[in-house]
């Protein structure tokens, strides 16, 4: 009986988390095809081509970046920092021990939250002093962080996005992301902009606009032109990875791993 009850509860939770996924009898999605939306490049800024970008954000008019440290090619380690947009270089920086592969960060209520890749450990810092306040753990991989007015929002490389309580760091709900083809895997770098969730899709040139109520992909932006431009300017440039929003100036920025530039864009 206990096993039956647990199984029923698990099924109920799974059903609630994926209640808005529209699928047919054959498992296909009945969601409409997301339209493509265009963009214009407003400005560009230097970016350090040794930085393996994992997270990008703007807080109080200051840009922050977090990086990971793959074995090759040469890179400048795992860290997060305030970035001087005139030079692309760190101004104030925290480096991780070599056992950790740094991932996404976000700033919420005076604290910086940071994920690591496969060590299932995150860190919380004072946003003013960069002093480490605590550590926390989670299941699975850590990819990216952003936040709305209440929760931290975390990606883990799957089609699910986790909402975390910022105090307990526990999962309070899960949003399943899907488009016309069904669940969208490899949800990566996140940014919450004007009520919508924007996400880089790992190893693609796309950023998706996602409805935070249903998880449905509402639109796509193709940044192939910027990816090609980055690789022309710096042959070592890798995938698109990094989206930041300056709420005060209503500006959006994008970049990629080892890119020579951060671009200000307008959708």
State the pLDDT confidence band at 7, using cuts at 50, 70 and 90. Answer: very low
Q: What is the pLDDT of residue 171?
A: 98
State the pLDDT confidence band at 261, using cuts at 50, 70 and 90. Answer: very high
pLDDT at 21 over 60: no
Q: Is residue 50 part of a domain?
A: yes
pLDDT at 83 over 80: yes
% of residues, the chain, pLDDT over 70: 88
Q: Is residue 132 part of a domain?
A: yes
Counting the structural domains of the chain, the total is 1
* pLDDT tens digits, one per residue of 177-227: 999 999 999 999 999 999 999 999 999 999 999 999 999 999 999 999 999
* pLDDT tens digits, one per residue of 216-256: 999 999 999 999 999 999 999 999 999 999 999 999 999 99
Q: What is the pLDDT of residue 20?
A: 44
Q: Is residue 136 part of a domain?
A: yes
Judge whether 123 and 135 are in contact, CB under 8 Å: yes
State the pLDDT confidence band at 75, using cuts at 50, 70 and 90. Answer: confident
pLDDT at 17 over 70: no
State the pLDDT confidence band at 76, using cuts at 50, 70 and 90. Answer: confident
Q: Domain range holding 41?
A: 34-266
pLDDT at 10 over 50: no
Q: Is residue 6 part of a domain?
A: no
Q: What is the CATH number of the domain that holds 95?
A: 2.130.10.10
List residues bridging with 41 in a β-sheet. Answer: 265
Q: Is residue 164 part of a domain?
A: yes
Q: Is residue 163 part of a domain?
A: yes
* pLDDT tens digits, one per residue of 97-140: 989 999 999 999 999 999 999 999 999 999 999 999 999 999 99
Q: Is residue 113 part of a domain?
A: yes
Q: What is the pLDDT of residue 70?
A: 73
Q: Is residue 28 part of a domain?
A: no
* pLDDT tens digits, one per residue of 33-47: 999 999 999 999 999
């Amino acid at each position: 009986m206990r096993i039956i009850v647990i199984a029923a509860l698990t099924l109920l939770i799974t059903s609630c988390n994926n209640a808005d996924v529209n699928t047919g009898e054959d498992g296909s999605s009945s969601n409409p095809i997301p339209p493509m939306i265009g963009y214009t490049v407003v400005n560009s800024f230097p970016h350090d081509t040794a930085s393996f970008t994992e997270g990008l954000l703007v807080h109080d008019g200051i840009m922050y970046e977090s990086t990971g440290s793959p074995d090759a090619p040469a890179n400048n380690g795992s860290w997060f920092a305030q970035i001087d947009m005139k030079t692309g270089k760190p101004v104030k920086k925290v480096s991780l021990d070599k056992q950790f592969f740094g991932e996404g960060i976000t700033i919420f209520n005076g604290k910086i939250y940071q994920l690591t890749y496969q060590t299932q450990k995150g860190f919380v810092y004072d946003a003013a002093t960069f002093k480490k306040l605590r550590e926390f753990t989670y299941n699975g991989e850590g990819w990216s962080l952003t936040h709305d007015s209440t929760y931290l929002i975390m990606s883990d490389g799957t089609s699910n996005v986790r909402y975390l309580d910022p105090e307990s760091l526990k999962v309070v709900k899960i949003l399943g992301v899907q488009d016309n083809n069904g669940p969208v895997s490899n949800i990566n770098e996140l940014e919450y902009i004007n009520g919508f969730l924007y996400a880089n899709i790992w190893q693609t040139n796309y950023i998706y606009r996602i409805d935070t109520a249903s998880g449905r992909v509402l639109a796509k932006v193709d940044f192939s032109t910027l990816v090609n431009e980055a690789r022309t300017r710096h042959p070592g440039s890798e995938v698109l990875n990094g989206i930041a929003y300056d709420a005060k100036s209503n500006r959006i920025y994008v970049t990629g791993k080892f890119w020579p530039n951060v671009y200000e864009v307008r959708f």
